[in-house]
């Protein structure tokens, strides 16, 4: 089994920035002391890398096969015959300084043969190939966008238009859809949901599933009416909703485990790994994959490693070291190379 891991940041300067953000966000006294001095947006060179791994025949036998450097990669989606779609590019670090966040496609020959840009891309986090184009989460504007291969908007769902328009400060957020949001800086406190993952429901293609990080919920959106239902709640900073043969799984990030659901979104299991035994401050289950061997691979973000966990709770760790913090795992075919 081969899979990719995206490291959105690979510089030590960003590692220090992120550590300060964690401390600031978790400790209200530190937050009060540092709020006036700390930025919500990193303005330096973040680096970035996509690495290819192979899981061998033995439990925990995970080897890195190669990597490519790219600026701040986040979500990825491999499509056989087309290549690897991935999000990359520098962000807007302050208003008026445009970013260049976009979708790139690396074809089977290893060439970047397509780049897709949109004025609505602001802190894009995940990308998925759809029947007509690409489904993008744009966290900066609290929206899900489906675009074609020239960046034209095909479909959208704006959280601020569907009951999620209140910032943590209590202010109402109103987004101007007609401006170039690549020139606007929207740090975390300027977002109402930090919408970070969306997929076409693998069990019902008429619906889209989305992760609302701040609300700790998963919503199911009807693609025609745009109405939505909350299908899972009580999560703590979730990421990456994924389909499974029996239902779904979601990384319950801040609580340090993967939550399993059946097709009715009834909770039916949890996958922990070592996060159960570490302080809450360190827990950060970023993403997870099922393997063909009856195990799960878990991105243990705050400890810079990938865990393989079996059904009996046994685990094996592959460490790649600070500051390489995984954002997403992506399965690829056995003939895939970097």
Mean pLDDT, residues 146-167 taken together: 98
Compute CA 60 distance to the chain's CA centroid, rounded to the nearest angstrom.
Answer: 24
In this predicted structure, the answer to whether residue 228 has a pLDDT above a threshold of 90 is yes
Question: Taking the model in full, what pTM does it have?
Answer: 0.93
Domain segments of the chain as ranges: 2-332
- Report in angstroms the alpha-carbon separations of 220 from 192, 203, 211, 227: 18, 12, 9, 8
Mean pLDDT computed over 71-79: 97
| pLDDT beyond 90 at 282 | no
Closest Cα partner for 71 from 92, 40, 100?
Answer: 100
Instruction: Give residue 321's region: left, alpha or beta (phi > 0; psi -120 to 50).
Output: left
CB 198 within 8 A of CB 209: yes
pLDDT, tens only, 77-90 = 999 999 999 999 99
Residue 23 has pLDDT above 80, yes or no: no
* Residue 129, number of CB atoms within 10 A of its CB: 15
pLDDT for 309 beyond 50: yes
Quick one: pLDDT at residue 267? Answer: 98
> CA-CA distance, 136 to 151, in Å (whole number)?
11
d(C-alpha 205, C-alpha 191), whole Å? 28
Give pLDDT tens digits for 94-133: 899 999 999 999 999 999 999 999 999 999 999 999 999 9
pLDDT score recorded for residue 36: 42
pLDDT band at 32 (very low <50, low <70, confident <90, very high): low
**Average pLDDT value for the chain:** 92
Q: What helix, strand, coil percent values describe the chain, rounded to 5?
A: 15, 40, 45
What is the distance between the alpha carbons of residues 306 and 255, in angstroms, rounded to a whole number?
17
pLDDT interval class at 34 (50, 70, 90): very low
CA distance 101 to 87: 7
Q: How far is CA 33 from CA 25, 27, 40, 188, 312, in A?
A: 12, 10, 15, 18, 44
> At 38, is the pLDDT very low, low, confident or very high (cuts 50, 70, 90)?
very low
Q: State how far the Cα of 16 lies from the Cα of 215, in Å rounded to an integer.
A: 27
pLDDT computed for residue 24 by the predictor: 62
Q: What is the pLDDT of residue 35?
A: 45
Is domain 2-332 given the CATH code 2.120.10.30 in the classification?
yes
């Amino acid at each position: 089994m081969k899979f990719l891991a995206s490291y959105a940041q690979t510089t030590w300067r960003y590692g220090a920035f992120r550590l300060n953000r964690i401390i600031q966000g978790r400790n209200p006294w530190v937050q009060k002391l540092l709020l006036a001095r700390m930025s919500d947006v990193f303005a330096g060179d973040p680096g970035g890398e996509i690495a290819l791994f192979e899981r061998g025949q033995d439990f925990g036998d995970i080897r890195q096969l190669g990597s490519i450097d790219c600026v701040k990669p986040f979500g990825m989606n491999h499509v056989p015959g087309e290549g690897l779609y991935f999000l990359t590019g520098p962000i807007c670090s302050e208003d008026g300084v445009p970013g260049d966040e976009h979708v790139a496609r690396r074809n089977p020959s290893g060439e970047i043969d397509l780049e897709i840009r949109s004025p609505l891309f602001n802190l894009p986090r995940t990308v998925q190939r759809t029947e007509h184009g690409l489904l993008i989460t744009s966290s900066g504007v609290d929206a899900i966008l489906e675009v074609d291969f020239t960046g034209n908007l095909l479909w959208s769902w704006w959280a601020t238009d569907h009951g999620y328009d209140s910032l943590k400060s209590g202010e109402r957020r109103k987004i101007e859809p007609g401006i170039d949001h690549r020139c606007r800086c929207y740090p975390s406190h300027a977002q109402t949901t930090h919408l970070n993952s969306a997929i076409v429901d693998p069990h019902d293609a008429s619906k889209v599933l989305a992760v609302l990080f701040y609300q700790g919920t998963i919503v199911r959106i009807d693609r025609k009416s745009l109405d939505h239902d909350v299908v899972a709640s009580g999560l703590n900073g979730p990421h990456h909703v994924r389909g499974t043969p029996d239902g779904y799984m979601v990384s319950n990030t801040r609580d340090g485990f993967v939550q399993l659901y059946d097709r009715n979104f009834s909770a039916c299991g949890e996958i922990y790994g070592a996060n159960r035994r570490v302080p809450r401050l360190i827990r950060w289950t970023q993403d997870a994959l099922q393997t063909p061997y009856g195990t799960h691979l878990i991105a243990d973000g705050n400890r810079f490693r990938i865990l393989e966990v079996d059904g009996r709770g046994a685990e094996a760790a592959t460490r790649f070291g600070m500051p390489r913090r995984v954002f997403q795992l992506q399965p690829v075919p056995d003939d895939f190379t970097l």
